[in-house]
Chain A
Amino acid sequence: MNLHIDDHQEDNYGILKLSGEIDAYTAPQLKDKLLTLVEEKESVEVDLTKVSYMDSTGLGVFISALKLSKEKDHNFKLTNLQENVYRLFNITGLNEVISIENTIKGELS
């Protein structure tokens, strides 16, 4: 029920690799780290391979990051979403506005 955040940065690029669950408890720390990164780096990626659960609090964080990236004219994308996580983007229509690469099936439950 926790979220582990690994971050790796280069000159103009940053990636957050997340593992665990994104909910009302873990979203605030993710928001802090992600917004700082999007502010500073031209290109930011969030790898969700190991995120087994997410709800609307996670959607809120990614919408904030998207808004900030547009303001700064930076790139922001999500990669490797589990099917149950991708589903929420699909239902809400956010898959049309947030750049999403690759969804994966199974492995984690």
Chain B
Amino acid sequence: MKQAFDFVEMKLPAKSEFVGVLRLTISGVANRMGFSYEEIEDLKVATSEAITNAVNHAYYDEGPGEVTIGFGLYEDRLEVMVADRGGSFDLKEVKEQIGPYDEKESIEDMREGGFGLFLIDALMDKVEINNNHGVIVLMTKFLYENEVGQNDDQISTTQ
């Protein structure tokens, strides 16, 4: 089955001052698709985390390059791809570091970074990371019809 979709692509310099530019763009795209205020906030955080990772990698390598961001607008979902061409990172190591804060951890051992991928995972419906040539994060958020939400509310309030 073939599904029609629109695709938007942008390239941004891998510099932290452009993280906010991406947030404005995703707000516009998600708003036009009909996502709710809360969902748009989730999308803003998740895409900012992804581009922040890309910007940090670019700096570790040979100076700022470019980050490519693609938005796939489907009828039932938004797919966001964030790709940098910088060096790859050890995905296994990164995965071991992510997760919520554990109360048993002592404050001295708490990490100051590493919540980025965890937040992406928590805020999006589906996340895939490809680490072969640079790093590509592909994340999906589904668009649930407002109508369904309203019906749900009505049912719960009459109970």
Contacts and interface: CB of A to CB of B under 8 A. Distances in A.
Contacts of A91: 100, 119, 122-123
A63 B55 CA distance: 21
Contacts of A93: 100-103
A96 B103 CA distance: 8
B44 interface: yes
Contacts of B118: 92
Chain B contact residues: helix, strand, loop or mixed: helix
A94 interface: yes
Chain A contact residues: helix, strand, loop or mixed: helix
Contacts of B41: 84
Interface of B: 16-17, 19-21, 23-24, 37-38, 41, 44-45, 48-49, 52, 55-56, 100-103, 107-108, 110-113, 115-116, 118-119, 122-123
28 contacts: A1-B21, A21-B20, A23-B16, A23-B19, A23-B52, A24-B16, A24-B19, A24-B48, A25-B19, A53-B23, A55-B48, A55-B119, A56-B52, A56-B115, A56-B119, A61-B112, A63-B112, A67-B107, A67-B108, A67-B110, A84-B41, A88-B45, A91-B100, A91-B119, A92-B101, A93-B101, A97-B101, A109-B37
The 6 closest A-B pairs by CB, nearest first: A1-B20, A93-B101, A24-B16, A56-B115, A25-B16, A93-B100
Interface of A: 1, 21, 23-25, 53, 55-57, 59-61, 63-64, 66-67, 70, 84, 88, 91-94, 96-97, 109
